Structure 1
Amino acid sequence: MNKPLRRPLVLAGVCLLLLVFGLQIAFTVHQESLTWDEGDHIFAGYMMWKTHDYGLNPEHPPLMKLLGTLPLLGQPLTIPSDQHRYFKTEAYMDGREMLFAKGPEYAKMLTFRMRMANLTVAILLGLLVFLAAYEMFGVGAGFVALVLLVFEPNVLAHGAFVTTDVGVSCFFFASVYAFYRYCKVPSVGRLVVAGLAVGLALATKHSAVLLLPMLVALAACEVVFRFNGDERGKRALRLVGGLAGVAVIAVVVLWAFYGFRYNARPGALRLDPTLAQYVMPLKPVEAKGILLLAKYRVLPESYLYGLADVRAMANGMPSYFMGKVYEHGLWYYFPVVLLIKSTLGFLGLVLLAVAAVIAGWFRRWREILFLTVPPGIYLFVAMTSHLNIGARHILPIWVFLCVFAAGGAWAWVESRGWNKVWAYAVGFLLAMHVSASALAYPNYMAYSNVLWGGPSQTHKYLTDSNTDWAQQLIAVKKYTDEHGIKDCWFAYFANPGLLSADYGIPCKPLPTPDSLFFDVQQPVPATIEGTVLISEGTLTGFELGSNVLNPYREFQGLQPVGQIQGGVLVYEGKFEIPIAAAWSHVQQSEALLKHKQPEGALAEAQQAVAIAPNSLTAQMALGDALVALGRKDEAKVAYAQAAELVKTMEPGAQEEWVPRVQKKMAQTVS
């Protein structure tokens, strides 16, 4: 180890920055309620410890769930009975019930303890960033990289949640860093460390499979550029062997987290739907590949379900971008997200590093490749995905860029003749980064830089975990108490997976897209009055795939009287919400049709249309009920009304809905 790392001031500086990092995250999450996905992860993780059941949340591997739920072991928890629902519904609903069975204060205490357990991974990430930058570029660059990470709003936003994003960022970076060290000085020890790191990444999140092309690409660079001066053929053989060793160790580590058991659920329990059914929405080549891995039991069953889920989500999910709803994702979504949600100081330092490469001051090509090839591949894959719901999905990119920016910035500082000028420039950009982050506290989730208006304006451009991941209930409770609000309405993003009543908020629930997806009926009147709170994620209506289907779109043109943690908007007055009021009747109509009660279904559908004649789903429900009763001519009229509403949709949504309506129309032809 180099001498500078032994210096007390260096060690003290690193420890101080990591302490600041941890305290920022801890104070932030202490003010935040359970987020959308945490209850799902928590219940699944706890049941893994207690029953070795890996089937309650198979869309994510076990590592971060097991780590986060360690503080629950030994707690006197009330465990809901398995109702044999769809596994996602089961985990979301049971997680909420388990945590809040003894009241909100107990739930908040448990949530904070679990988040502190996961915070250890964020601290480890900070340490790795410093060590990598120090080893690659020196102690000064190490501190620049660490400061960038410690005050990175997107990392701070997710640093302690019982989810996978910071975990995969940590082990992604650890894997590449470990492989870098192996390439520099090959040894069995370094090979084992790289394999363990890759295994931990695979056990954290399914996106870690991207490490395979990343490490292969980096190995190819090692052969082509001959950084060690070895003969190419010999170098290639050594790296092929090294990659094979890394892969074997990583797969063993992955299996270890599933208890070396193929079946997702213990005993006679089985997942419903089956894996063969679950892969049906995928492209044929994807489905065949996953089923082939299942046939030979190459990977655990739960992990394969997760791969299928990731691909299904990536192949198509509605998104919201720059004020518009899209049926699918956009290729340029994530590059723009990087520009919106990075501080100007951070962007300036990245550009400074690029300029250093162009100017010839930054020529550490092995290090540059190891810091740019992985995030480049990651960004390319993200751009081809249709899952555009949050900057957290590209969080590893910020981590790599912290070290790259630090290396480039320090190259300017060490340049001959102008080093003082560049030192001031780097210091100024770092100060911009730190101050922008500090001013955003504690609304890191909704962060955007000043060119986009800051955290209070982010909801105009982005949604979901970019602004509102349902983390504001503690702040909403404080707001209602301070303003003396005793009666209100709340369209809450995570409802019914999480309930505002769990935190003592005195608002009546308004239906959301997720209350439809969970098939929970929440009847409301067509006119509401008083205080109305709407989560930004619900206000955009993006989950429905079209703003035409959004029951709260009239609120989009109104000026809110307040905003809570950058993600909940507050309105006062009298409001018409006919589409929301019609939803429960549509749901009831669909339920009655499933139970072969077409007369009752027709009555409910007619009531829905009477409340909201411009509701597409109400007209479709009416047509379905009429078809079931053999009244095809009347059904044709209802479907024709639906077809006219489809014409008002966004182009992408029309592509989705036109075939649906046409298929329904075909049923009315005798």
Structure 2
Amino acid sequence: MSLATIQRPTGAPLPPARAAAPRRWPFVLVAAVLLAQMAIAMTTTAVQQTPTVDEPVYIGAAVVQAQQHSLRYNPEHPPLGKLAMATGLAFAGVRLDPDFRGDQTELGRHVLYESGNDPGTLLLAARLPMIVLTLLFGVVVLLFATDISKSRTGGIAALALYAFSPDVIAHGSLATLDVPAAGFLLTAAWLLWRARTGPAPHLPLAGLALGAALATKTNTLAAVPVLLALVWWHSRWRAALGVLLTAIAVVWISHAAVDPSVSFPRAYLDGIRAQLAFEDRVWGGYLFGTHYEGSHWYYLPAALLVKTPLGALLLWAAGTAALVKHPAAAYVLAPAAALLAVAMTGNRDLGVRYAIFVPMFLAVAAAVVAHRRYAKVAVALAAVSSLWTFPYYLPYSNEVFGGPSKTALHLHDSNVDWGQDLGRLAERLKRYLGERKWLVYKGAGVPEHHGIHASDPREAPPDEVKGLLIVSNTAIAKADAELRALVDTSTPIDVVGHSITIFRRS
């Protein structure tokens, strides 16, 4: 008798059906596409932009750390972020005069422009490690959001908000410290969330991530009490002590990796004192068309309102409201609130980069409302708004405030004009050959390196300033009476990258 003729006895139970494996490939594919879009946006931005104000300082310090094993430059920030930049610079063959003497600003200019190095190559080499870290933090956003929402839809929605965030793209593509510091802190919060149900190995890894944040920027100290309190609450004081000691070890190792002879606690405390000294200075701010001295406590929330896509603002608000009663609120909202509260008391109203953790943490919060009908529309609106500004992410503002072309009317400095468009200006000026040029440029680039030969209009009598008057929009916002008179009596004829305006004077 063949097997085909064997009959199942009447009443016999059916064999158990094999459970259908969850279809993960669409989830992975969509996540990969979102991260690939982000990688293209950041790489394009990194290639096209010239040095922003802070980058040469960090790059110069990174080179000295790698070649001379010294922490003497840029001591106000711990060394880990600059060590990350050095991993890219190691492939650039950087030349540095071992006898150079000067401050950190002069060092950055020396390394980029005066040592025979190619500035574009060095910038890209230092920016690429930051791009890689930013993409990895996108994976953290995806996993964290999936965990708290118990939904892949929530994870994808959060990743989309992160991957299309103009501020994260803008600052994640620069050789600066804001995004890596915030990203390491986000990673620590996610690992502590997971440690609630499985302490090993999440608690040690959380300590490493927290230490990496503290070893990148000291402003992350504001979140330490919140995170340690969460560990204490769920895993007792010994676990909290272990996380703290692990974090301290990471900070110490990052210093010792540069200079084994350094006194770690003293060096770190010196950096904190340097930051406090910056806070004692009076800085100029610019908000909604008004230039002022000092700071406004509401500056960062107002700037975020301008520079965040409308769809993201909607989901941030809805996600925050929905998450308040969720156990994850303490891991998502509390660290962000602590950081923002401290940042809002600062004296430097210079850009949303001081609150770059907000779009990262609140993207995760938005995951809990991803199932609602309006969520897909909101994500799509955020994506369209982000794609619309490509590749000018730094000066982005949302449609209510007029888009990137109008950002300079509301904000200044790293919100719109941080020196990034000097190379684009050089290309644009090829249209105006033969005309006398006058330049007021905010940035760390060297105009002559790009073939821009211009005079400073502030050093000449007003009646001699004729031809092209080229002014960074931040300089316009902060213009004194002399420069304001020149601008007001000139005709705007061109704009470069939404950050530099070209006028004609006759």
1:177 and 2:190 aligned = yes
Cα offset for 1:500? 1.0
Query: Could you tell me which residue of structure 2 aligns to residue 157 of structure 1?
Result: 170
- Mark the CA change 1:490 to 1:458 in structure 2 (over 3 Å): closer, same or farther: same
Cα offset for 1:4? 8.0
1:568 and 2:500 aligned = yes
Q: Is contact 2:153–2:370 with CA below 8 Å preserved after alignment?
A: no
Cα offset for 1:365? 1.3
Query: How is 1:383-532 mapped onto 2 (pairs within 5 angstroms)?
Result: 383-410=344-371, 412=372, 422=373, 425-484=374-433, 487-494=436-443, 497-509=444-456, 523-526=459-462, 527-532=464-469
Q: Is contact 1:264–1:300 with CA below 8 Å preserved after alignment?
A: no
SS at match of 1:326: strand
Q: Structure 2 CA distance, aligned partners of 1:349 and 1:62?
A: 35
1:36 and 2:65 aligned = no
Q: Is contact 2:127–2:175 with CA below 8 Å preserved after alignment?
A: yes
Cα offset for 1:21? 0.9
SS at match of 1:442: coil
Query: Could you tell me which residue of structure 1 aligns to residue 274 of structure 2?
Result: 309
SS at match of 1:30: helix
Query: Could you tell me which residue of structure 1 aligns to residue 87 of structure 2?
Result: 70
Query: Could you tell me which residue of structure 2 aligns to residue 125 of structure 1?
Result: 137
Of 330, 349, 354, which aligns to 1:369?
330
Cα offset for 1:155? 0.5
Q: State the one-letter code of the partner of 1:176.
A: A
Q: Is contact 1:262–1:299 with CA below 8 Å preserved after alignment?
A: no
Q: Is contact 1:540–1:550 with CA below 8 Å preserved after alignment?
A: no
Q: Is contact 2:419–2:441 with CA below 8 Å preserved after alignment?
A: yes
- Mark the CA change 1:4 to 1:143 in structure 2 (over 3 Å): closer, same or farther: farther
Superposition CA RMSD, Å:
2.4
Q: Structure 2 CA distance, aligned partners of 1:6 and 1:70?
A: 38
Q: Is contact 2:166–2:394 with CA below 8 Å preserved after alignment?
A: yes
Offset from partner CA, 1:582-638 (integer Å, 9 cap, x none) = xxxxxxxxxxxxxxxxxxxxxxxxxxxxxxxxxxxxxxxxxxxxxxxxxxxxxxxxx
Q: State the one-letter code of the partner of 1:25.
A: M
TM-score (norm 1): 0.68
Offset from partner CA, 1:486-543 (integer Å, 9 cap, x none) = 531111112xx432112222323456xxxxxxxxxxx5444311101111122222xx
Query: Could you tell me which residue of structure 1 aligns to residue 8 of structure 2?
Result: none
- Tell me which moved more, 5-14 or 18-27: 5-14
Of 295, 306, 317, which aligns to 1:340?
306
1:554 and 2:485 aligned = yes
Q: Is contact 2:311–2:382 with CA below 8 Å preserved after alignment?
A: yes
Q: Is contact 1:54–1:264 with CA below 8 Å preserved after alignment?
A: no
Q: Is contact 1:490–1:532 with CA below 8 Å preserved after alignment?
A: yes
SS at match of 1:299: helix
Offset from partner CA, 1:524-570 (integer Å, 9 cap, x none) = 444311101111122222xxxxx6x5542225646522211111111
Offset from partner CA, 1:307-359 (integer Å, 9 cap, x none) = 1122222344222222222221101111111111111111111233355x3xx
Cα offset for 1:372? 1.1
- Mark the CA change 1:263 to 1:482 in structure 2 (over 3 Å): closer, same or farther: same
Q: State the one-letter code of the partner of 1:492.
A: Y
Q: Structure 2 CA distance, aligned partners of 1:103 and 1:510?
A: 30
Q: Is contact 1:129–1:399 with CA below 8 Å preserved after alignment?
A: yes
- Mark the CA change 1:551 to 1:40 in structure 2 (over 3 Å): closer, same or farther: farther
Q: Is contact 1:463–1:536 with CA below 8 Å preserved after alignment?
A: yes
Q: Structure 2 CA distance, aligned partners of 1:264 and 1:550?
A: 51
Cα offset for 1:74? 5.7
Q: State the one-letter code of the partner of 2:138.
A: G
Query: Could you tell me which residue of structure 1 aligns to residue 28 of structure 2?
Result: 11
- Mark the CA change 1:82 to 1:211 in structure 2 (over 3 Å): closer, same or farther: farther
Q: Is contact 1:168–1:205 with CA below 8 Å preserved after alignment?
A: yes
Q: State the one-letter code of the partner of 2:498.
A: G
Stretches of structure 2 that go unaligned for 5 or more consecutive residues are 1-19
1:45 and 2:62 aligned = yes
Q: Is contact 1:489–1:507 with CA below 8 Å preserved after alignment?
A: yes
Q: Structure 1 CA distance, aligned partners of 2:312 and 2:339?
A: 19
Q: Structure 1 CA distance, aligned partners of 2:211 and 2:28?
A: 29
SS at match of 2:51: coil
Of 292, 302, 307, which aligns to 1:326?
292
Cα offset for 1:172? 1.3
Q: State the one-letter code of the partner of 1:570.
A: I
Cα offset for 1:95? 1.8
Q: State the one-letter code of the partner of 2:288.
A: M
Q: Is contact 2:491–2:504 with CA below 8 Å preserved after alignment?
A: no
1:349 and 2:346 aligned = no
Query: Could you tell me which residue of structure 2 aligns to residue 96 of structure 1?
Result: 109
Query: How is 1:184-195 mapped onto 2 (pairs within 5 angstroms)?
Result: 184-187=197-200, 189-195=201-207
Q: Is contact 1:446–1:567 with CA below 8 Å preserved after alignment?
A: yes
Cα offset for 1:261? 8.0
Offset from partner CA, 1:213-248 (integer Å, 9 cap, x none) = 22145457xx4xxxxxxxxxxx5xx33222211111
Q: Which has the higher contact order (CA 8 A, sep 6+)?
A: 2
Q: State the one-letter code of the partner of 1:530.
A: G
Q: Is contact 1:456–1:566 with CA below 8 Å preserved after alignment?
A: yes
Q: Is contact 2:168–2:179 with CA below 8 Å preserved after alignment?
A: yes
Q: Is contact 2:223–2:338 with CA below 8 Å preserved after alignment?
A: no
Q: Structure 1 CA distance, aligned partners of 2:466 and 2:141?
A: 52
Q: State the one-letter code of the partner of 1:533.
A: I
Query: How is 1:241-320 mapped onto 2 (pairs within 5 angstroms)?
Result: 241-259=238-256, 299-301=265-267, 303-316=268-281, 317-320=283-286
Q: Structure 1 CA distance, aligned partners of 2:73 and 2:452?
A: 29
Cα offset for 1:179? 1.5
Q: Structure 2 CA distance, aligned partners of 1:466 and 1:100?
A: 26
Q: State the one-letter code of the partner of 2:469.
A: V
Q: State the one-letter code of the partner of 1:39.
A: P
Query: Could you tell me which residue of structure 2 aligns to residue 23 of structure 1?
Result: 40
Q: Structure 1 CA distance, aligned partners of 2:123 and 2:245?
A: 36
SS at match of 1:456: helix
Query: Could you tell me which residue of structure 1 aligns to residue 476 of structure 2?
Result: 539
Stretches of structure 1 that go unaligned for 5 or more consecutive residues are 224-234, 266-296, 413-421, 512-522, 542-546, 575-670
Query: Could you tell me which residue of structure 1 aligns to residue 161 of structure 2?
Result: 148
Q: State the one-letter code of the partner of 1:536.
A: N
Cα offset for 1:110? 2.4
Q: Is contact 1:131–1:142 with CA below 8 Å preserved after alignment?
A: yes
Q: State the one-letter code of the partner of 1:338.
A: L
Q: State the one-letter code of the partner of 2:448.
A: A
Q: State the one-letter code of the partner of 2:303.
A: V
SS at match of 1:572: strand
Q: State the one-letter code of the partner of 1:368.
A: A
Q: Is contact 1:4–1:10 with CA below 8 Å preserved after alignment?
A: no
SS at match of 1:386: coil
- Mark the CA change 1:5 to 1:262 in structure 2 (over 3 Å): closer, same or farther: farther
Q: Structure 2 CA distance, aligned partners of 1:27 and 1:33?
A: 12
Q: Structure 1 CA distance, aligned partners of 2:79 and 2:432?
A: 42
Cα offset for 1:101? 3.6
Cα offset for 1:94? 2.1
Q: Structure 1 CA distance, aligned partners of 2:39 and 2:75?
A: 30
Q: Is contact 1:371–1:403 with CA below 8 Å preserved after alignment?
A: yes
Offset from partner CA, 1:50-79 (integer Å, 9 cap, x none) = 111111111222122121122332644432
